[in-house]
Amino acid sequence: MKRHKVTSFCIALLLTLFSSAALAAKADNTDTDSRFVDAKVVEVTDARISVIAQTGVEHVIAINGNDTKVTINGRAVSLKDVREGDIVTVELDAASPMKLARNIAVSNNSQLARSRR
**pLDDT band at residue 109 using 50, 70 and 90 as cut-offs:** low
**60 with 91, same domain?**
yes
**26 with 44, same domain?**
no
CA 117: distance to chain centroid?
A: 24
Mean pLDDT of 86-110: 87
**67 with 80, same domain?**
yes
- Rounded to two decimals, the pTM is 0.66
**pLDDT band at residue 116 using 50, 70 and 90 as cut-offs:** very low
Higher local confidence (pLDDT), 109 or 7: 7
Domain extent at residue 4: 1-30
**24 with 53, same domain?**
no
Higher local confidence (pLDDT), 5 or 20: 5
What is the tens place of the pLDDT at every residue in 14-32?
Answer: 777 666 555 554 456 676 7
**19 with 54, same domain?**
no
Check pLDDT > 90 for residue 59: yes
**39 with 62, same domain?**
yes
- The DSSP secondary-structure symbol of 64 reads -
**100 with 70, same domain?**
yes
Q: What contacts 64, CB < 8 A, 6 or more positions away?
A: 100, 101
Q: How many domains does the chain have?
A: 2
**39 with 91, same domain?**
yes
**44 with 90, same domain?**
yes
**106 with 77, same domain?**
yes
Q: Mean pLDDT in the chain?
A: 81
- Torsions phi, psi of 30, nearest 5? -115, 150
